[in-house]
Amino acid sequence: MPHTKEIYFELGIGTRMRRFMDMLATGVDKIYKGTGVAFKARYFYVFYALVKQGNMPISSIAALAGFSHSAVSQTVKQMVKDGLITTSATHDGRQKLVGLTEKGEHVYTTIAPIWQAIEDAMKDLIAASGTDFLGCLTKLEAGLQEVSFHDRVREKLAHAKSSCSFEIVPYDVQYRQAFYDLNAFWVEKYFSMEEPDIKLLSDPENFILSKGGEIYFAVSEGKAVGTVALKAEPDGRFELTKLGVDPRVQKGGMGNALCKMVIDRFVARGGKTLYLETNTSLENAIRLYWRLGFIELPNPVQSPYERANYYMEWRGYTNAAE
């Protein structure tokens, strides 16, 4: 499940990777400093390449690490200042040949056992996670080499322009059956219909609308393909409930748009609390709610649904949802 304060998911994978790297680098730098080794975590990829393969041009180091030539050059310059490596012109004078200095050789003899400990600790961390982290990373890199991320995003943008267009409209009796069918599909796919489901979905006018609630539909080409409800309760409490989208037209941010309609109506009505109940197995839905500004909290009351084991309240839009 997401961390209590997590807002970065697939969209923010770069941010999360940087955060992960910062956690590793901070720990490793503390180890180096604590053992008195004049070395920094960001030097590793250059230093390790020279240890393993001997003197080589900057371009070769860049190719091994998968970094730009300019990025490697900046690291090399700093390492030269620290006396760990030296550079000289290649035989044709067009590139710089990089090699370890005597100080660098000495540092390696000191740092080798530290690297072994780092490797062992990382293997333990990966094993504890229960995932083939390196295997997954290799597959992701291979996927980007096959089709660049730029091209992947361009394809999604092109698809979004041609995908199902829709408008959000308030409840209309002509969509009454769609309100039942769209919700029943998702409930029965993962769980089973409960008595509160059947009562509410069968008579939304009585159980939602007549009690001050609202129902909205995503309509495409005259057909209701998504729905959501804002259920009113005493003391300014409202529930975001009965969110369902036709699985054949889930693209295009329809679920996000429906939820934002409910949130905007809650704000316009001056509500005090907007909450929802869901199940921990519905991870994609929970990610959507987190991005919209909902946070996990203990449920203050007993849920009428047996499947509801995850309670959230809205705390304001996150940057990702605006």
Orientation angle between helical segments 69-81 and 58-65, nearest 10 degrees: 120
What pLDDT is attached to residue 160? 62
- pLDDT, position 158: 75
13-130, what's its fold? Arc Repressor Mutant, subunit A (1.10.10)
Helices (H) and strands (E) in the chain, counts: 12, 10
Is residue 267 very low, low, confident or very high in pLDDT (cuts 50, 70, 90)?
A: very high
Residues contacting residue 40 through CB under 8 Å, at least 6 positions apart: 29, 32
Name the residue ranges covered by the structural domains of the chain: 13-130, 164-314
Give the count of beta carbons closer than 10 Å to the beta carbon of residue 98. 23
Q: Which of 276, 273, 274, 306 is nearest to 288 (CA)?
A: 276
State the CATH class of domain 164-314.
alpha beta
* Residue 137 C-beta-side C-alpha neighbours within 13 Å: 6
Per-residue pLDDT, averaged over 214-229, amounts to 95
93-147 pLDDT, tens digit per residue, is: 788 899 999 999 999 999 999 999 999 999 999 999 999 999 999 999 999 999 9
Q: Which pTM was predicted? A: 0.59
- Using one digit for the tens of pLDDT, what is the confidence trace for 156-211? 777 666 556 889 999 999 999 999 999 999 999 999 999 999 999 999 999 999 99
Q: How far apart are CA 244 and CA 255, in angstroms?
A: 8
